Every structure is written in structure tokens, then in C-alpha cells.
Amino acid sequence: MNILKKTYRKLTSRKYNIGFVENTLEGILQGEPYRIKWMKHGYADRWFADPFILDVCGNEAQVLVEEFYDLIERGRIAKLLIDLDTMQLINTTPVLELNTHLSFPAILRREGHIYIYPENYAGGGLNLYEYLPESNECKKIKHLSDELVTDAVYTELFGEPLIFSTCEPDANGAVLGVYQQNKSTGMYQLVQECKFGEPIARNAGAWFTYRGEIYRPAQDSAVRYGHKLVIQRVRREADGCFSFREVRRDTSPLKGMELGFHTFNMYENHIVVDCQGYRNPHIGPALDNIRHSF
């Protein structure tokens, strides 16, 4: 039975890929259909998800991602170098690897320094690292929270340092936690919960502003984890609570990779997303359909 289960998992396993959006941010917020150039690469033993743009210089982009590497059976943080003209992956360099799963390498820029606070709830909470471009390494700076946060986003857009995140064991649910820094300990603790009527609480990328409004990329996990990408406008009301208004909701536009569409990030007018599909595009869905019919 174990052999059958292992074979089934292998044949129905999924993969992610990343792409750069050709639309402007204004076009996206106005509802234009996504136009995306997807990355090309020859790797069969890994996939790439949760992209955050590190830098764009000429026709080359540096992107931090979750690189799920089959050999170690978990995610690590890697830097991709991509030719934006051909969308060919030039190289991939691991920058942070632990003995627990890493993903969602959210970027924080401060006074010429680059920091990341990747998801690592399996390691016991949220940590801040400084990314060192000269050596392509990450140095741990501090522990931010003991909470088992998932796809956490730090922001000062509301006038104070806050972290918004879902949390294990309900990472893909309907409750978005608001975490505030404890002045005595320096740790971020839950102070408020934003409750939705559906499982769209999980973040899909860093929050951003456009024409004076704040926006949040979110994941719709009603069908499956990260099935749809949601963009919401966010406001802080007079009572201190947060309100969310949906701007748009989309499934992946890439044929054969419609299982997930769950990351949206931007940097200097460049927008990056990801999508999910089967590694075996014919056998995978057929086996899943057979299983779900019983």
C-alpha cells in the first residue's frame, strides 16, 4: 500500500512557475485580463513559487523565490536571475536553507540594506534575516514572533509597524490576524482579527499603494489552497478596525497551470506572479478525477 501511495503522490504531484505581468498596475486595478510572460527553465527536480522582486537591471531581473527542491523534499529561498527578453532562467542560487520548510521570502528595504522575513512556521515562528548580495547569503538578525504565522506581511502603511498574517492550524481560513510589536519584548503579538465570510484571509504578496489607496493581494482557497488571486482595497476605519473591498478575483490564465494563482508582488513598476499545475498534465488530473469520483 505504501508503494501505491507513493506512486500516486508522484503522478499527481504539482509544480509552480513564475511570470512577469505585462499590464500596468492601473490596468490590473481596472480589470484588464492578465497578460503574463512565463519563465522558461529546464529543471525537472524543482519548482519555483512565491516570487518577490529583488532588483531589475536592464533586461535582467533578480527574484527571490521559494525553490522546492525534490532532493531535500522541502522549500528553500533562492535567487533567480532571469532574462526578461527571452524569459529564460539564467541561473538559480540558494540563499537560505534550513532543516525546515521555507517559503514566501517577503522583502523589507531599509537604509540601503535588504532584509527578508520568510515563512518558516515549521521552524517555530517568524525571523528577520539580512540578505547579503556580495555572498548571496542571509544572516539572521532577530526573532520577530513565536506565532506560527503563514505568508506574513509587514507594513507601516497605517502609521505604525504591523504584521498581517494567517496562522497555523488555520492558515488557509477566513481569519487574518493583526500583530503589533510589544514594546517591552520587541516581539509581535496578536492584537486584532479580521474575519471574512470565506477562506480569503491568507496574503498573496506585499501590500501596496496606488493613488492614495492601500491594496492587499490575497488568496482564495475555497476550492483548494491558493486557487484564485484576489486584490482588495484596505482601509483602517475610525474604530481602528480594517475594512476590505474586493477589486478583482482571478484564476490562473495559463492553460495547463490552472490549479493555483496565489502570488502578486511588484517593485519599481514590475509585477511578478506565480501559477500552479500538475507535473504530469495528463496522468495527474485523470488520477485525481478517478479518486474523487469514489
Structural element, H or E, at residue 31: none
* Out of 7-11, 87-91, 288-292, least confident range: 288-292
Average pLDDT over residues 72-80: 98
Predicted local distance difference test score (pLDDT) of residue 12:
72
Question: What's the confidence (pLDDT) of residue 241?
Answer: 97
3 pLDDT above the threshold of 90: no
How is residue 293 written as a grid cell? 469520483
In angstroms, the CA 228 to CA 217 distance is 10
Whether residue 294 is predicted with pLDDT greater than 70 in this model: the reply is no
Span 234-257, average pLDDT:
97
Q: Calculate mean pLDDT across residues 165-175.
A: 98
Look at residue 10 in the predicted model and tell me its pLDDT.
74
Locus of grid cell 518558516: 120
Total count of residues recorded for the chain: 294
Please write the tens of the pLDDT for every residue from 111-147. 999 999 999 999 999 999 999 999 999 999 999 999 9
Task: Give the predicted TM-score (pTM) of the model.
Answer: 0.95
Are 206 and 107 in contact by the 8 Å Cβ rule? The answer is: yes
Given this model, what pLDDT does residue 6 score? 73
DSSP state of 121: G
User: Does pLDDT of 1 surpass 60?
Assistant: no
Under 8 Å between Cβ of 275 and 257: yes
- According to the model, what pLDDT value does residue 293 have? 62
Q: What structural domains does the chain harbor?
A: 15-292 (2.115.10.20)
Average pLDDT over residues 35-47: 98
pLDDT band of residue 289 (cuts 50, 70, 90) is low
The mean pLDDT value for 227-252 works out to 98
What percentage of residues in the chain have a pLDDT greater than 70? 95
In this predicted structure, what is the pLDDT of residue 283?
A: 75
